[in-house]
Structure 1
Amino acid sequence: MGYAEDIFEQAKRTIAEHELASGDTPVLLMVSGGSDSTALAYLARDLRDAGEVGPIAMLHVNHQLRGDDADKDQAFVEKLAELLDIPLFSCEIDIAGEARRTGENVEAVARHERYLAANEALESLCLHGAAPLSDGRIFTAHTQDDRVENFYMRSIVGTGPGGFRSMLYRNGPIVRPLMDASRADLRAYLEERAESGLPTLRDESGDLWREDATNAHTDRFRAFVRHEIVARAKKRNPQLLDTLCRTMNLIADEDDMLDEQAAKIVERQVAWLETDEALGTDHSAGCVLSPEFGCEPVPLQRRACMEVLQLMLGADARVETASVESVLAGFAEGAPIGGYTNNIQGDLAVSANKRGVRIEPMAAYRARRKKA
């Protein structure tokens, strides 16, 4: 089992190099039944047995978007959890109905609901293991392929500071221990595992994983990038995944350095409007960027502003590039522009005077104006 051992060692190395987990870390596995997440389940069981991670559990979310196929995916994951003796959290969500109710994109709703379920399951896993929730991790099966696809997707639609690193190995509790492996690597691992005689699950068609037929539909953006762009780029450079991921890791190193500098600017130059020694800071109430903020290098201003808006809007919110530029437009030649106002993100007001540039909910801005 030389190849399979290589994949296992690679996962261990990725976890260690990026400090993704330790021997007592509770880990929730996101398992859809596709090749990547099925491989993740087998590898995580081995990682647990080797003492590389703590207690593990699996989560499967049935989005009810693919009829009988979705139900078969769920049944496959249930059998996989039983085979590996891993506790399973499973839920069914009418994603299409929720998308109609909210008016949001189906894929965005699916992602939101999936991670909402994951956080709830992780909380339960940590509670059962008497571990702080902050110690828990959510393992996803993102690979080099996913990272490269994200890179090209962002190249097409545009991205903000740090966007071309494409994916983080860790984003809060969410970690990606397979991001140094390709999808082909993981499929070869599954096939070698089956050939070796180790306990391995097959579906009713004899397949080692469940294939989502919608992955081939090029009218979906990611599938279009996967089949029309990445596939052609691989013909020019068969080592595209390794080459581009090395480049993205170089970008990530510089990105981390700039983020650290931007965080120091936020610490020095941003005053939050509502802070309490006992309750902490209410970021949603807004802040004031000091006049000195405008003297910082513009690239660092952008990153600092991005961090501020993310704190105000919440981790799951999308910070618009236009919003960042609108905030920075409140400064000119290193000083606030008195009388400058703007509306960003639909419900935030930006205003400037000699004391700095203020960002706050529109209701709070209007209440202040009314008093004045």
Structure 2
Amino acid sequence: MGHTEDIFDRAKRTIAERGLASAETPVLLMVSGGSDSTALAYVARDLHDAGIVGPIAMLHVNHRLRGKDAEGDQAFVEKLAQLLDIPLFSCEIDIAGEAARTGENVEAVARHERYLAANEALESLCLHTAAPLSEGRIFTAHTQDDRVENFYMRSIVGTGPGGFRSMLYRNGPVVRPLMDTSRESLRAYVEERAEKGGIVQRDESGNLWREDATNAHTDRFRAYVRHEIVARAKERNPQLLDTLCRTMNLIADEDDMLESQAAKAVERFAAWIEADDALGIDYGAGCVLAPDYASEPLPVQRRACMQVLQLILGADARVETASIERVLAGFADGEPVGGYTNNIQGDLAVSANKRGVRIEPMAAYRARRKKA
């Protein structure tokens, strides 16, 4: 079987086995013009034509970081969208300027702005197709290579619970249908498609996709891992991608089990401070973890605490390990530590008494103390 059929079948199988999309699902494709996302565009067009996914559209974000090369990427994707008859959302964002303004890392800003644009484009696509936004999906072209690189990056800098599963097949609306496929296979798929006379887009130099020269700069963390660590690991085990991804899927199964247990612990032991049957829960107001929370196994306590802090701080916040440790320090010997207080990220106060461990905004904690 050639790569053309193999990649399509693999993506189809991943979508079916993981429940990532259906024949009615509106799908937004994030396409940069590189080999992986170009392959994603071809595969998605075929998936749509086969009735496996619903209406499709593409998004290209020009980060304005690479001058004429970035303009070339944008032109390539525009022509690719026309060739495949796929509606295109396109935008330009001054990432360097935004990073300078906020003081954040350029790559982090680029990712944030890219997904912000993707969510806006998905909302427009769902509105146009009369589909609920909750049913829409954002397809990215992440591969086995990306997942393995993330694994080694986290091995170097450390990670929290579940971090070594590396990537999720689905994270909210974001879906990775090519994550069971290698980058090398995707490139062979595009090349084979061209050799067989299939519809392909070429840039002004005749290339089947656009290369980002910065991917070879090993002063960048991911490029360093890709060229210096993963490449050498492949020399020792040529089947590294398949082997390590199978291992990560085993980790993911156990991670899902623990996350489920943690969610049940949150439901049982977290009493939200501002919860109204009619108005719902104001997670930002904080909660009280009941004394019996300490009876849960420590790994479940950690994960439940992470879930609680994520709700309080918001979905975009990165929950710090130190914050989790400081909350759990409010329990000792299976019960709350009376008089314990601490301050954690987000200017949250943690305090403990016989009724449990309370997590709340510092302003609310001070107001309560003043009244007392």
* Fold similarity call, TM over 0.5: yes
SS in 1 for 2:338: coil
- Aligned 1:82-231 pairs, distance under 5 A: 82-231=82-231
Counterpart position of 1:269: 269
Which digits, 9 at most, give the CA deviation of each residue in 1:147-180, with x for residues without a partner?
A: 0000000000000100000000000100100000
Which segments of 5 or more consecutive residues in structure 1 lack a partner in the other structure?
none
1:49 counterpart residue number? 49
Q: Distance in 1 between matches of 2:33 and 2:135?
A: 26
Query: Are the counterparts in 1 of residues 313 and 346 from structure 2 also a CA contact under 8 Å?
Result: no
Q: Quote how far apart the aligned CAs of 1:3 are.
A: 2.0
Pairwise CA distance, 1:205:
1.2
Cα distance in structure 1, aligned partners of 2:289 and 2:371: 22
RMSD: 0.8
Whichever residue aligns with residue 140 of structure 2, its letter is T
Q: Secondary structure at the match of 2:12?
A: helix
Measured in 1, the distance between the counterparts of 2:100 and 2:48 equals 41
Match of 2:356 in 1: 356
State the alpha-carbon separation in 1 of the partners of residues 138 and 248 from structure 2.
23
Q: Mapping of 1:318-333 within 5 angstroms?
A: 318-333=318-333
TM-score normalized by structure 1?
0.99
- Alpha-carbon contact 2:8-2:43 (below 8 Å) kept: yes
Counterpart residue type for residue 268 of structure 1: R
| Deviation by residue 1:204-229 (Cα, 9 ceiling, x = unmatched) | 11111000000001111111100110
Larger CA deviation: 246-255 vs 359-368? 359-368
User: Residues of 1 paired with 2:3 and 2:149: CA distance?
Assistant: 25
For the residue of structure 2 that corresponds to 1:207, the secondary structure is coil
Unaligned runs of 5+ in 2: none
Q: Whole-Å Cα distance in 2 between the matches of residues 364 and 221 of structure 1?
A: 41
Aligned position for 1:308? 308
Q: Distance in 1 between matches of 2:179 and 2:110?
A: 22
Show structure 1 runs of 4+ deviating over 4 A: none
- How far the C-alpha of 1:18 sits from its partner, in A, is 0.5
- Between the two proteins, the alignment pairs up a number of residues equal to 372
- 5 Å-filtered alignment, 1:242-281, equals 242-281=242-281
Letter in 1 for 2:231: A
TM-score by length of 2: 0.99
SS in 2 for 1:352: strand
In the alignment, what sits opposite 1:237? 237
CA distance in 1, matches of 2:76, 2:370: 61
Deviation at 1:276, TM superposition (A): 2.1
Displacement of 1:368 in angstroms is 1.4
Q: What's the CA shift string for 1:57-103, capped at 9, x where partnerless? A: 00011111111111111111100000000000011000111111111
The 5 Å alignment of 1:326-345 reads: 326-345=326-345
Distance in 1 (alpha carbons) for counterparts of 2:29 and 2:126: 13
Q: Distance in 2 between matches of 1:353 and 1:104?
A: 39
**Deviation digits for residues 16-36 of structure 1, max 9, x if unmatched?**
010000000000000010000
Q: Distance in 1 between matches of 2:59 and 2:278?
A: 36
Q: Match for residue 77 of structure 1?
A: 77
In the TM superposition, what is the alpha-carbon distance from 1:136 to its structure 2 partner?
0.3
CA distance in 1 between counterparts of 2:57 and 2:203 reads 21
SS in 1 for 2:180: coil
Superposed displacement of residue 346, structure 1: 4.0
Percent identity between the two aligned chains: 85
In 1, are the aligned partners of 2:294 and 2:334 still within 8 Å (CA)? Answer: yes
1:2 Cα deviation from its structure 2 partner = 2.6
CA distance in 1, matches of 2:79, 2:277: 50
